[in-house]
């Protein structure tokens, strides 16, 4: 028999969904006119969340109202057209709407038996991603939280494969006493690769670092002598400059020795959608494993990391679990391809995003955001400011003078609220980083943001 609370709750579940949809729609309508960073007063209001764990239950409607009242104003407007922080994309309408539907479904995609639709969509999107990126179509893959996790999964796969060749089963016998593996990374590798290496038992410091050039590209001529027990981690898209390691040359050299090449391509790999970038993206298809994010350039919501590996057997050997009630069926079982077991059905939003964009839409999104990056670079240079990187794709590094002045300009731009950019230090130089990664950015957003940057920078220089 249903309790009173259950009957009440079922009736109000419909109400609360309508209420949430109304509030969500209001938020979407307000995005264009909102400040990008939240105002001080809205941040101060977050203190209102800190109450002791409530003794009494609350009506879901009241819970949602409170969340919207305190939460919405304290968000960073990353879904609008003027957020250029980190390398964070926005969210495509189809992906957002699919997220609502997926929320209602609440599917656990660990096993096909738990959700046939979620398992099916994963198979479809993994294949589509291979098609889009021009990778071998029979790659195995998994949908993980983020690129850090994708890097970890790929490195665990590489570890398994290389040690298996040496007659060592790392899944059973662990790393202690295992034949040594040499890990090679570029000097400008993303910090998440080092974290992934530490998680996989390799150690952040126990790596051979290869010199990078002024754009952060690994120098192929500086590669050490490799062996069949080496993992070379290369990068498609440096998080600061957007530069690509020379993949064709490195893969050829590594594969002569049977070494494993892993690509951290969190955002850069998506540039393979456009032939305009072939000169930098060629060769990455030769690698053995790849990590990327659909929550960056493809504008799918968080968390949408992807791992792909040529050797599906090694991926499953390192990620599978055995338990009587979890035996793999004849079809692909999601949980045997990722570190996580129970998880949400990430493939739903990714499918919706890719289906709505199609190859032409995704290509156009990539090309448009890169053209916007060029507009920023040109605008800043014309105004007399320095652009530190060769703007090849969607990343721009700007300096406004001394480190102190540049930091102050960044602080004031964030405070101004017209747009949002973060700071970085590129090869010893303090810089503001502009990443154009959102489908929502328009030419007008670029012009308005550029005007705000130049105004603020001139004010800072004047004092
Ligand atoms: C963003 C990024 C990462 C980390 O991505 P997460 O999804 O935050 O884990 C790793 N590598 C590169 C090159 C990146 O740009």
293 lines ligand 1 (CB under 6 A): yes
Give the pLDDT confidence score for residue 462 in this predicted structure: 77
**Phi-psi sector, 216: left (phi>0), alpha (psi -120 to 50), beta:** left
In a domain, 367, yes or no: yes
Domain extent, residue 66, equals 2-33+38-75
What's the pLDDT tens digit per position in 279-317? Answer: 999 999 999 999 999 999 999 999 999 999 999 999 999
Give mean pLDDT, residues 52-70: 96
Ligand 1 atom closest to Cα of 295?
Answer: 7
pLDDT confidence band for 330 (50 / 70 / 90): confident
Residues 377 and 449 in one domain: yes
Q: Which helix (H) or strand (E) holds 316?
A: helix 312-319
* Pair (246, 391) in one structural domain: no
Strand order in the sheet with 140-144: 140-144, 305-309, 289-293, 260-264, 230-235, 182-186, 208-210
Q: Could you give the CA distance from residue 300 to residue 313 in angstroms, rounded to a whole number?
A: 28
Q: Tell the residue number behind the tokens 């939240």, with chain if given.
A: 38
Strand partners, 434: 396
226, 374: one domain: no
Q: Which residue's CA lies nearest to atom 12 of ligand 1?
A: 266
358 lies in some domain: no
Question: Is the Cβ–Cβ distance between 447 and 417 less than 8 Å?
Answer: no
The confidence band for 2, taking pLDDT boundaries of 50, 70 and 90, is low
Q: How far apart, in Å, are the Cα atoms of 292 and each of 159, 270, 367, 418? A: 19, 9, 18, 30
**Residue 55 domain flag:** yes
pTM above 0.85, yes or no: yes
Same domain, 347 and 371: no
Answer whether residue 1 shows pLDDT above 60: no
Residue 173 covered by a domain? yes
Determine the average pLDDT of the residues in 415-432: 97
Ligand 1 centre to CA of 435 (Å) is 13
CB 438 less than 6 A from any atom of ligand 1:
no
The pLDDT value given to residue 13: 74
Residue 68 has pLDDT above 70, yes or no: yes
- Is residue 218 classed as helix, strand or coil in its secondary structure? strand
Contact call for residues 173 and 199 (beta carbons, < 8 A): no
- Are β-strands 395-399 and 386-387 bridged in parallel, bridged antiparallel, or unpaired? antiparallel
**What pLDDT, on the 0 to 100 scale, is given for residue 327?**
64
Assess whether 109 and 13 both reside in one domain. Answer: no
Q: How far is the CA of 284 from the centre of ligand 1 (A)?
A: 17
Task: Provide the pLDDT confidence category of residue 118 given band limits of 50, 70 and 90.
Answer: very high
pLDDT tens readout for residues 5-33: 666 666 677 789 999 999 999 999 999 89
Answer yes or no: is the C-beta of 146 below 6 A from any ligand 1 atom: yes
Identify whether residues 385 and 339 lie together within a single domain: no
Query: Residues, the chain, total?
Result: 463
- Do 376 and 233 share a structural domain? no
Mean pLDDT in residue range 131-156: 97
Ligand 1 mean position to 216 CA, how many Å? 15
Q: Provide the edge-to-edge strand list for the sheet that holds 395-399.
A: 386-387, 395-399, 429-435, 422-426
Q: State percent of the chain over pLDDT 70.
A: 96
Whether pLDDT at 39 is above 60: yes
**Which of 293, 295, 300, 397 for mutating ligand 1's site (highest number of atoms within 8 Å of CB)?**
293
Residue nearest to atom 15 of ligand 1 (CA): 239
pLDDT of residue 430: 98
- Whole-angstrom Cα distance, residue 279 to residue 131? 19
Our answer on whether the CB atom of 148 is closer than 6 Å to any ligand 1 atom is yes
Tens-digit pLDDT profile for residues 342-393: 999 999 999 999 999 999 999 999 999 999 999 999 999 999 999 999 999 9
For residue 387, how far is the Cα from the chain centroid?
25
Q: Which of 87, 148, 192, 294 to mutate to test the pocket of ligand 1 (most atoms within 8 A of CB)?
A: 192
Residue 307 Cβ inside 6 Å of ligand 1? The answer reads no
Residue 394 domain flag: yes
Q: Among 308, 325, 353, where does a domain finish?
A: 353
Does residue 150 share a domain with residue 65? no
Average pLDDT over the chain, rounded to whole? 95
Nearest to 165 by CA among 151, 176, 179, 152: 179
* CA Rg value for the chain: 24
Q: Which of 390, 460, 401, 392 is nearest to 429 (CA)?
A: 401
Question: Considering 329, 353, 377, which residue would you say is the last residue of a domain?
Answer: 353
Instruction: Judge whether 50 lies within some domain.
Output: yes
Q: Is residue 329 very low, low, confident or very high in pLDDT (cuts 50, 70, 90)? A: low
Chosen domain end from 353, 384, 416: 353
Residues 416 and 300 in one domain: no
State the CATH number of the domain containing residue 386: 3.90.1150.170
Count of structural domains within the chain = 3
390-413 pLDDT, tens digit each: 999 999 999 999 999 999 999 999
Note whether 280 and 373 are same-domain residues.
no
Shared domain check, 65 and 10: yes
| Sequence-ordered list of residues with C-beta below 8 angstroms from that of 172, at least 6 positions apart, any chain | none
For residues 294 and 300, the answer to whether their CB atoms sit within 8 Å is yes
- Nearest alpha carbon, ligand 1 atom 2: 266
Judge if the beta carbon of residue 288 lies within 6 A of ligand 1: no
Could you tell me if the CB of 392 is within 6 A of ligand 1? no
pLDDT surpasses 90 at 99: yes
Q: For the residues 36-42, what does the mean pLDDT come to?
A: 95
Per DSSP, the residues of 55-97 read: SS---HHHHHHHIIIIIGGGS--TTSS-B-STT-----HHHHH
Whether 320 is covered by a domain: the verdict is yes
Tokens of 325: 């009630």
Q: Residue 119: is its pLDDT beyond 70?
A: yes
């Amino acid at each position: 028999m249903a309790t009173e609370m259950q009957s009440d709750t079922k009736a109000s579940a419909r109400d609360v969904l309508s209420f949430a949809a109304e509030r969500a729609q209001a938020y979407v309508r307000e995005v264009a006119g909102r400040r990008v960073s939240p105002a001080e007063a809205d941040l101060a209001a977050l203190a209102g969340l800190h109450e002791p764990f409530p003794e009494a239950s609350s009506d879901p409607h009241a819970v949602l109202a409170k969340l919207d009242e305190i939460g919405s104003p304290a968000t960073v407007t990353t879904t609008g057209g003027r957020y250029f922080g980190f390398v964070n994309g926005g969210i495509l309408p189809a992906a957002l709407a699919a997220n609502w539907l997926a929320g209602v479904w609440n599917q656990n995609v660990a096993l096909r038996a738990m959700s046939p639709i979620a398992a099916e969509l994963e198979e479809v999107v993994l294949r589509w991603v291979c098609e889009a990126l021009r990778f071998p179509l029979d790659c195995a893959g998994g949908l993980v939280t983020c690129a850090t996790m994708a890097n970890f999964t790929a490195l665990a796969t590489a570890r398994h494969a290389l040690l298996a060749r040496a007659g060592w089963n790392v899944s059973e016998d662990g790393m202690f006493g295992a034949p040594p593996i040499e890990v090679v990374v570029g000097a400008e590798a993303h910090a998440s690769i080092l974290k992934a290496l530490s998680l996989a038992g390799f150690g952040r410091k126990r790596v051979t670092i290869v010199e990078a050039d002024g754009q952060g590209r690994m120098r192929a001529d500086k590669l050490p002598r490799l062996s069949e027990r080496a993992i070379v981690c290369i990068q498609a898209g440096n998080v600061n400059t957007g530069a690509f390691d020379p993949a064709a040359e490195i893969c050829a050299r590594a594969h002569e020795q049977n070494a494993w090449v892993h690509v951290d391509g969190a955002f850069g790999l998506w540039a393979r959608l456009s032939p305009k970038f072939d000169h930098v993206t060629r060769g990455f298809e030769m690698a053995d494993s790849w990590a990327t994010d659909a929550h960056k350039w493809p504008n799918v919501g968080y968390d949408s990391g992807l791992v792909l590996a040529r050797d599906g057997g090694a991926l499953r050997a390192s990620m599978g679990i055995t338990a009587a009630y979890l035996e793999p069926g004849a079809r692909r079982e999601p949980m045997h391809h990722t570190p996580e077991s129970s998880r949400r059905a990430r493939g739903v939003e990714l499918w919706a995003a890719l289906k709505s964009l199609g190859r032409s839409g995704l290509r156009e999104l990539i090309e448009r955001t890169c053209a916007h990056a060029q507009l920023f670079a040109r605008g800043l240079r014309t105004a007399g400011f320095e652009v530190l990187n060769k703007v090849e794709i969607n990343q721009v590094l700007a300096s406004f003078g001394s480190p102190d002045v540049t930091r102050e300009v960044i602080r004031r731009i964030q405070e101004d609220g017209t747009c949002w950019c973060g700071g970085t230090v590129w090869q010893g130089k303090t810089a503001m980083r502009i990443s154009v990664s959102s489908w929502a950015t328009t030419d007008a957003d670029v012009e308005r943001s550029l005007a705000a940057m130049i105004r603020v920078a001139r004010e800072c220089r004047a004092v």
